[in-house]
Structures are given as C-alpha cells and as structure tokens.
Amino acid sequence: AVDGREAYLTCGCGVVFPVDAVGGTVRWAVRYQRDGKPNAMQRQMYGNQGPGLLELEGWDDDVVIPFGRDLVVMASDPDLLFALDRRTGKFRWSSPRTSPVGTVASYCVGVHGRGLIVAGKNVVRSIDMLAEGKLMWEKEIEDSFGRGCVTEDSVYIPVKDSILQLDRAKGRELTQVGVAL
C-alpha cells in the first residue's frame, strides 16, 4: 500500500516495513511471530533433517492498510491481524482471525470509514480500527465460495447460489438474491 511518500510492505515472511517511495530508504522493519505447524511430509522426504517448512495459518493474501496513524497488517503467516504505529513500527493492537465460536476469517473484503470488513467461508465480520481492533459485528453465513465487496452502505457476499446483502454498519441481513446460472 502507498500513502504519501511511504510504501508499506509485507510478504508473508514474518516482517513488515515501510520504504520511502522517492528515495528507497527503509524507514523501519518489524518482525512478527509466524504461526503454523511443521510440514511432516516435507520433513520425511528429507530424512527428518532441518526445521522444514511451516504449514502457515494466516490470511489468504498479504494486505497492509494505512489507517490514520496505524498500519493494519493482514499477512499470510500470523493467525491474527495487527496494527503498528506508522511512524515507529511500534505494536499498537491485535485482533484474532478466529472468533470465540470457531469461525475463521480468511480475506479482507474492504474498508469503509473505521470498519475493516473481513470474511471467510462461514463468516463476515467488521473490525473497528479506531477501537483497537474490537469486533463491531459478526454474521455467520452458509458456505461462501467467492469473494465479497463493500459499497457505500452494504456488504455483498456470495453464499452458495445467491448473493447476500448485509447492512455495512450493523451486519443485519438486508436481502438475499438467488443467482440462476
């Protein structure tokens, strides 16, 4: 993501950093904890030598979102989203990817105002970026096999053979329209 003179980067390798987009200088770099399990099959192939690759537990894509003084990070290798101070790289807050009832968000749908909308196969939720990653609302859904989008007033999510329209502010179901292929 680019904002002003800064380009913010993460690549799913346990590090986030901003680069001065004009001069190319790295402003700071922050390492974060990568989450995953060792790949047992890969270790067996190489005679149980070395640490092996991790089966990562994180977001589908590496996404960074400049938001006010924060840089919100959704990387493919930690099992949470977190925010850093854009000027210093200091940790600010985090929010889990998995809810207390076990629903897992896997991708960023979009941002509108202070709300970060994330979704997964069986959930859509809104995270309040001004309130240190607090959950604004969560809606459990049936199987979603596609990616949704955010508009001025709604969130649209593909669910089975239909499109579900949710109120962006409250997460209420507004309508669900079937799709005939």
Q: Tens digits of per-residue pLDDT, 120-142?
A: 999 999 999 999 999 999 999 99
The CA-to-CA distance between both ends of the chain, in Å, stands at 36
Give the Cα separation of 153 and 86 in Å (integer).
Answer: 29
Checking if the pLDDT of 41 tops 80, the result is no
What's the pLDDT tens digit per position in 104-118?
A: 999 999 999 999 999
What's the pLDDT tens digit per position in 12-40?
A: 899 999 999 899 999 999 999 998 776 66
- DSSP secondary-structure letter at 109? E
Q: Quote the pLDDT of residue 56.
A: 79
Q: Is 104 exposed, middle or buried (0-12, 13-18, 19+ CB in 10 A)?
A: middle
Residue showing tokens 């989203």: 81
pTM of structure: 0.87
For residue 45, what pLDDT band results from cuts at 50, 70 and 90? low
